[in-house]
Structure 1
């Protein structure tokens, strides 16, 4: 059973960034809840790991030094390590709807498990561990900006991201997804 997220706030902002120049980015704050409208903002596929009522925040800031993403979650399963990545497609009613991991240099072989492509310098990896209250956060800074329209969501995965050859980038089942209008 899936649950949608009610979008509390989504905006693009011009703020003082990393490095001192003005930057642009996305700011999404949402609460997981029963579906409430025609537009699917986010979804959970595992109610035990990412229960309805859990909060998520994704903040993106771009500047001359690249892109910084911050992911914060509240009310997830306590004491657990999750994988999280930026994906190419928006969330949908099925876990696979969010597509592949966004890669700055695309691996010609998909799904990508080659560490030359599936790594935290070429993708955005946001793995985190929740505390005893189920709160967790992560951030990543990469030296590039997303190609327009090619980064559309953040997916929360079953376990930490693997790095071994033939398994690089894998993090298990897709537990939840939040749509983000990355710039």
Structure 2
């Protein structure tokens, strides 16, 4: 009887040790309140079918640059952490969570994920009203790289994802806040798909 118990314990340990993060190019994100912690990693390259991390502008996000996003959800809210490496040194970028996975075109990732959707943006996207396009209602992860091209940024929200974001988009510029341009951050330079 000892052998089956040991085998079950070993199998359970192996399954549990794989939960929460993934050292490869995929991972899980989302799942509602109290879902725990998940990490998604990717290495940017030109688009191909099934790509997790896509560079649309290699002059801004070089092939081989990396990104890792960790989402921690509790009943009280959500913390999102972004770590990037291999980008241009001492350069500012915008970054947001979007509603759709990355695709062949930069616009395939859809609009920003919003906790309270902007009703005006449904007919005329994107949302540029600062009442909705703001860091409390969206997930803004703007960053400035250091002397090695690496950076870390984060956001803490008092809400959880429902539905879950499907991508992280890195933009050419930092995020604007003025009416009529709020939430915009220039061209979409790269995209990291997040599992739904």
In the superposition, the TM-score normalised over structure 1's length comes to 0.84
Which residue of structure 2 lines up, in the alignment, with residue 162 of structure 1? Answer: 176
Contact 1:9 1:27 in 2 (8 A): no
> 1:8: how far off?
1.7
Larger of the two Rg values belongs to structure: 2
> 1:9: how far off?
4.3
Residues 80-108 of structure 1 show CA distances to partners (whole Å, capped at 9, x for unaligned) of 10000000000001000000000000001
Any gaps of 5 or more consecutive residues in structure 2? 1-22
- Rounded Cα–Cα distance in structure 1 between residues aligned with 2:89 and 2:42: 19
Structure 2 SS opposite 1:43: strand
Of the three residues 168, 181, 188, the one matched with 1:174 is 188
Which residue of structure 2 lines up, in the alignment, with residue 27 of structure 1? Answer: 39
Residues 43-84 of structure 1 show CA distances to partners (whole Å, capped at 9, x for unaligned) of 111111111111110100100220111001001011110000
Of the three residues 132, 151, 156, the one matched with 1:117 is 132
CA distance 1:12–1:41, change in 2 (3 Å): closer
Aligned length: 166
Q: Give the structure with the higher percent strand.
A: 1
Structure 2 SS opposite 1:58: strand
Of the three residues 77, 98, 102, the one matched with 1:91 is 102
Which residue of structure 1 lines up, in the alignment, with residue 141 of structure 2? Answer: 126
Contact 1:46 1:176 in 2 (8 A): yes
Structure 1 SS opposite 2:40: strand
Residue 104 (structure 1) aligned with residue 119 (structure 2): no
Q: Give the structure with the higher percent helix.
A: 2
Contact 1:112 1:169 in 2 (8 A): yes
